[in-house]
Amino acid sequence: MFGGSEPTPGRLSSPADIRLDIHAQVHPDFGWFRMVGTGDFPIDAREYSLALELEEGFELLPTEEPGWKCIAFRGSSIPMFAFRGRDCLFALTPQWPRNIMWYLFWHLLRRRSDAIFFHASALGIFGEGTMFVGPAGSGKSTTALALAARGHNLLSDEVAGYVPERGELIPFRRPVGIKPGPRAAAVERGLALGMARRVVEDSNVRAGFVRVDVDGLFPVEPPRPVPLRRVVFLRGFATNPSLERITPDRQEIGELQPQMSSILNEARRRLVFELARLLSTARVYRLHPGDPDATALYLEEAFACEK
């Protein structure tokens, strides 16, 4: 996930970094898990800090029991998770396995303590890091895959990792999400020919949504860290692609909200400072994408002529 070697089947030769013992039949309404592994990493719900602060999706429920921290979906009075020490109680809703997987995903991001993670796609284009930022459905993955099909280094399609100390984008390549709608020709060919090694339908996300291993769609080079040089904000589809260089302001800082950050324990102003510094050291653009392949070619030509 961070650009290391692929896992191999069989028993691990060293202890797992994270191990969960999950018990889903201890009570009719809730289950329990305990997390152990290498290091002394706490189970304290801090993964939800940014979402709670920004009031996005979750809220902290009051509790009279000392040492417990209860997290619920916003608007619900029923805890989704209750954390204390290395133990966690979870609600036995039909989605409980998915809820635990999302928590583990955020927990893994948190363990990369030198990085900030954004809801964005990231590539190396002409050896320079480029991050595409926009809301769901704005074309981040579609644009990234179209560029990757033209030989550019795909780092990630929906979670971009940035290391402030080095000013680098780091690899975060997972199976890529492909939605119904416009797609690069190479993606269509790969799906039609069944070239992808793994295709996972996920109707819980969206009807027709699939995840595939990108190297089964078309040839890709191994991902590698690259210096961040561009941030592109997607502003909605158009008949023909258009790109405009902009001076970022509060709107762009607001859109560049991280999913997880190495500075969770710092004051809010530290995070704002890091986001502003990131944008001040990069070339910042506004993009209206069009047809995926036409957009990829258009961006290649535009970035090749940068000054």
Helices assigned H by DSSP within 185-246: 185-192
Q: Residue 25: which residues within 8 A CB-CB, separation 6 or more?
A: 31
Q: What is the model's pLDDT at position 4?
A: 56
Nearest 5°: phi and psi at 75?
90, -5
CA separation for the pair 86, 18 (Å, rounded): 12
Is the distance from CB of 130 to CB of 121 less than 8 angstroms?
A: no
> What DSSP string runs through 99-140?
HHHHHHHHHHHHH-TT-EEESEEEEEETTEEEEEE-STTSSH
- Give the pTM: 0.86
Q: What is the torsion angle, in degrees rounded to the nearest 10, for the CA atoms of residue 195, residue 200, residue 204 and residue 208?
A: 20
Tell me the average confidence (pLDDT) per consecutive run of 10 residues in the chain, 307 residues long: 63 75 92 82 83 82 90 92 92 92 88 89 96 91 95 93 94 87 91 66 62 87 94 94 94 86 74 89 96 97 88
* Helix axes 292-304 and 140-149, enclosed angle (nearest 10): 70
Q: What is the model's pLDDT at position 204?
A: 54
Q: What is the model's pLDDT at position 186?
A: 93
Q: What is the model's pLDDT at position 283?
A: 96
Q: What is the model's pLDDT at position 168?
A: 95
Q: What is the model's pLDDT at position 199?
A: 55
Domains in the chain: boundaries: 19-111, 116-304
DSSP assignment letter at 7 = P
CATH architecture assignment, domain 116-304: 3-Layer(aba) Sandwich (3.40)
Strands 116-118 vs 258-261: parallel, antiparallel or unpaired = antiparallel
DSSP assignment letter at 12 = -
Q: What is the model's pLDDT at position 40?
A: 67
Q: What is the model's pLDDT at position 169?
A: 96
Nearest 5°: phi and psi at 81?
-135, 145
| Strand, helix or coil for residue 155 | strand
